Copies of this chain bind each other. A is one copy, B any other.
Amino acid sequence: MAQFDLSPAELEEYRPTIHEPEDFDTFWTGTVAEARGHGGDVRVERVDAGLTEITVDDVTFPGFGGHPIRAWLVRPARVDGPLPAVVEFIGYGGGRGLPHEHLGYAAAGFAHLVVDTRGQGSGWGSGGDTPDPVGHGPASPGFLTRGILDPAEHYYRRVYTDGVRAVDAVRQIDGIDPARVAVAGTSQGGGIAIAVAGLLPDVAAAAPNVPFLSHFRRAVEITDADPYAEITRYLSVHREHADAVWRTLSYLDGVAFARRARAAGLFSVALMDQVCPPSTVYAAYNAWGGTDREIDVYPYNGHEGGQHYRFAPTLAFLRKHV
């Protein structure tokens, strides 16, 4: 069925009970503190992207474990700061790519930090540059089941922490106004944005498009599409590990982070999206803790959602809230 999930009316009221572990906040407070404890500098190196109107810096900042994380900082060439900043995270399997792929926000007068996802970047697009120096136990292909038996070892613990540290980093860079930072991203990038907004309630705004990484149980029950199906594949082999898997994922669920967010939130959702089913997106959206929240609905799209149509409403949202 093309619109295979709940009806639009049901989605608007969809507030499932998502189990949250008691030590969720302790776990994450400790994680962020530990990462910050590693210290390390933010390195900002100008690169020649062949552009005259836009400048590009290659940024390296310390993420989880103090590991070096790469990002592009893209800014208008002929404007003096301090600029408001958009910290953007990337969709599953992709990397920060090449600088000229990210000109929109800068052309609109924002500083734009495009953050690599560790270990990813070889699945599509123009590549990433950030290793993940941490190994893992038996895992199904992909990233979602790496370290899945223990929240402390799970891949996305590191990735979410990198996201927090990306905001920490951009706030230290000359020419950026640290009080005017938004987080954004599509799919996995949207999931990371939600997590960061939950961990850093003082970000000014969050704009997750068709976000991934929310309400894992529902996703596994309702869709065969990757990447959620990586969990299914893992459980189809490791039949004895279901409890441990669900426990680990309860530390990583976007719904729990959404509850803790305080920023204005602009979501989008597509009703034919098998990759990030609409009910999983609404589960996070309906739990959003910020006073302002909006969601744009694409009834006839799959996971591509609004694509470039997101630019105008997101820009309007950022100009209002950041």
Residues of A within 8 A of B (CB): 1-4, 50-54, 76-79, 93, 95, 97-98, 100-101, 103-104, 106-109, 119-142, 145, 220-224, 229, 231-240, 242, 272, 298-302, 304, 306-309, 311-312, 315-316
Residues of B close to A238: CB separation below 8 A: 122, 127
CB distance from A187 to the nearest CB of B (A): 16
Task: Indicate the member of A107, A272, A309 with the most B CB atoms within 10 Å.
Answer: A107
Contact A123 B100 (CB under 8 A): no
A135 in contact with B134 given A2-B223, A220-B2, A304-B236 (CB within 8 Å)? yes
* Interface of A (DSSP majority class): loop
Task: Indicate the member of A101, A106, A138, A306 with the most B CB atoms within 10 Å.
Answer: A138
Contact of A97 among B100, B139, B220, B308 (CB under 8 A): B308
Contact B1 A221 (CB under 8 A): yes
Residues of B close to A93: CB separation below 8 A: 141
Task: Indicate the member of A50, A95, A101, A122 with the most B CB atoms within 10 Å.
Answer: A122
Residues of B close to A4: CB separation below 8 A: 1
CB distance from A136 to the nearest CB of B (A): 6
Assembly CA distance A137 to B298 (angstroms): 23
Chain multiplicity (copies): 6
A242 in contact with B142 given A100-B311, A131-B135 (CB within 8 Å)? no
Assembly CA distance A283 to B131 (angstroms): 34
Residues of B close to A107: CB separation below 8 A: 51-54, 100, 103, 107
Contact of A237 among B122, B131, B133 (CB under 8 A): B122
Contact A229 B137 (CB under 8 A): no
Assembly CA distance A224 to B51 (angstroms): 37
CB distance from A224 to the nearest CB of B (A): 5
Residues of B close to A240: CB separation below 8 A: 309
Contact of A232 among B145, B220, B234, B272 (CB under 8 A): B272
Residues of B close to A2: CB separation below 8 A: 220-224, 229, 232
Contact of A308 among B100, B140, B142, B233 (CB under 8 A): B100
Q: Known pairs A98-B312, A127-B237, A131-B135. 12 more at Cβ < 8 A?
A: A2-B223, A78-B78, A98-B309, A120-B138, A121-B138, A131-B136, A131-B137, A133-B135, A231-B300, A236-B301, A239-B298, A239-B301
